[in-house]
Amino acid sequence: MAERSPRAHRLMALLARLGSVALLVACWWLASRTTDPRTLPSPEAVAAFVVREAASGDLLRNIGITLWRVAASFCLAMATGAVLGIALGRSRTADRLLDTPLLVLLNTPALIITVLAYIWLGLTETAAILAVALNKMPNVAVILREGARGLDPGLEEMAEAFRYDRRTWIRHVLLPQLEPFAVAAARSGVSLAWKIVLVVELLGRPNGVGYAISYYFQLFDVAALIGYSLVFSAVMLAVDALLLQPLDAHARRWR
Amino acid sequence: MPAAGDKSTAAGAEDSALLTLTVRRKVYRPAGSEPVEAVRDLAVSVRTAETLCLIGPSGAGKTTTLRILLGLDRDFEGTLTARPALRIGMVFQEPRLLPWRTVEENVRLSLPRPERGQSLDALFDELGLSPWRGRYPRALSLGMARRVALARALALAPGLLVLDEPFVSLDDAAASSLRAAVFGSAASRGAAVLMVTHNVPEALAVADRLLLLSGRPASLVAEVPIRTKRAERGRDWAEAMRRDLAARYPETVAEG
């Protein structure tokens, strides 16, 4: 009994989660009965659209291309943001020099970065990915700067006393201390990146979920809008649960 | 191993100093405030296989002296000379283990890259750490964690083992078990031990020589050789010694 309880606990948590989703769908279904189906289509209508769009191949194609853009810009933002953040956290000079530009970039609306990227680089894939990465990068840099500032001085001294070489220090002293910050930046980053990708696609790409949304907006097809949004949210939830959460658990295994 | 080589050359040699440190002055200059003089006129020389205890009031610059001695702080007026290829194994007051690495990984990482693959079975057995090799430091008591820190220093095969207040915050049983591990392992390896402490009875039990330091700025007050054999150092002897030291050096050794 005692060793079965954690599993039972997990089962209960899953049931609670499914229950809340079912309740939400039920409310939606009830609400759709009482309103104009063009404003709020029923769950069945949305499901039917998803099935139709999937059968035509458009759903998979659009979600695939958007996911690719999320992944590319996410990796670019994480890599550049991490390097910048560590440099800012470790060097006072770098921090003084770059703090203001970083703050400016952090507070520049996503829309402006996107429009400027399209004007300067043309309506290209590179411009789209760069625009998303540039929106996300300052956020990563700020989070990792906090991590790099808080390095344990006792461990630094220990590493010095035992003459750790640079590679050993980076792998066994620096990165493990930054790992929780990197995972936090990644989890908040993925959700931020995909929201911005849609705007970028809407403004200047001929495919992807953002393009599909703008197309169905012009047709005022609410079932299509909700359908795309739900499917893409489900995909991103799966990415979080299957990729980022295990990464988070791995980072915390020694705690 | 350098330690073995050190021992053979040192046998019978007149000057058997492993390491000699002379600090004329060490001044901290914190940005925006007055400079602080931490050490003045302090000479420390550690001989092969001896146990040397550095005793001084807390906050007197003992940690600064240790940092200089380990070569971590080169910004001082004075000289530091060590026997070539001398390895110093450091045991900090807090264990300072990497919490995200297992006990065994913590020990291996202290070794230079070419030596990381060596067998550590004997070392872990000697210190009673074998059952803990795969555990993370969080699972260990303070006494056990200090034992791992000792294993990490010993793995280097050091000619000199430096310990900073190694037995504070331990209960009597844990402290005496760790003390036996430290001095047993150092003796069997022929390693010199330099221990920083403010606990005079503890130093009297193990030292060959005491170096008494003054309060800030730390400077040398006296060097006290102890010739009584360790086995003959009873409770009465230690009490008499302590009272004698307290009378002669009241600013370093407190009246008990």
Report d(CA A245, CA A241) in Å as an integer.
Answer: 5
**Contact with chain A for residue B99, Cβ under 8 A:** yes
Asked, for residue B194, whether it belongs to a domain, the answer is yes
> Which residues of chain B lie closer than 8 angstroms to A172, CB-CB?
98, 101, 105, 109
Tens digits of per-residue pLDDT, B39-66? 888 899 999 989 999 998 877 788 888 8
The DSSP bridge partners found for residue B80 are: B21
Asked, for residue B136, whether it belongs to a domain, the answer is no
**Contact with chain A for residue B85, Cβ under 8 A:** no
CB pair distance less than 8 Å for B90 and A162: yes
Q: Give the DSSP letter string of B213-224.
A: E-SSSB-EEEEE
Nearest CA-CA distance, residue B253 and chain A, Å: 29
Q: Which residue has the tokens 């956020």?
A: A139
> Which residues of chain B lie closer than 8 angstroms to A92, CB-CB?
none
Asked, for residue B105, whether it belongs to a domain, the answer is no
For A27, what's the count of Cα atoms within 13 Å in the CB-facing half-sphere?
6
Q: Select the residue from A158, A166, A174, A183 to test the B interface by mutation, using most B Cβ atoms within 10 A.
A: A158
What's the complex ipTM? Answer: 0.85
The predicted pLDDT at position B1 comes to 41
Tens digits of per-residue pLDDT, A103-118? 999 999 989 999 999 9
Asked, for residue B232, whether it belongs to a domain, the answer is yes
Residue B150 has φ and ψ, to the nearest 5°, of -65, -45
Domain coverage including residue B220 = 2-87+157-248
Asked, for residue B190, whether it belongs to a domain, the answer is yes
Report d(CA B232, CA B226) in Å as an integer.
Answer: 12
> Which residues of chain A lie closer than 8 angstroms to B72, CB-CB?
157, 160-161
CATH label of the domain that carries residue B217: 3.40.50.300
If DSSP codes are grouped into helix, strand and coil, which group holds residue B36? strand
Nearest CA-CA distance, residue A174 and chain B, Å: 11
Residue A102 has pLDDT above 70, yes or no: yes
Asked, for residue B26, whether it belongs to a domain, the answer is yes
The predicted pLDDT at position B14 comes to 40
Asked, for residue B151, whether it belongs to a domain, the answer is no
Q: Select the residue from A162, A170, A173 to test the B interface by mutation, using most B Cβ atoms within 10 A.
A: A162
Residues 153-182 of A with CB under 8 A from B: 154-155, 157-158, 160-165, 168, 172-173, 176, 179
| Percent of all residues in chain A with a pLDDT value above 70, rounded to a whole number | 98
Domain count along chain B: 1
DSSP 8-state secondary structure symbol assigned to residue B231: G
The DSSP bridge partners found for residue A163 are: none
Asked, for residue B217, whether it belongs to a domain, the answer is yes
Tens digits of per-residue pLDDT, A133-160? 999 999 999 999 999 998 999 999 999 9
**Span A41-251: which CATH code?**
1.10.3720.10
Residue A1 has pLDDT above 50, yes or no: no
Tens digits of per-residue pLDDT, B102-114? 999 999 999 999 9
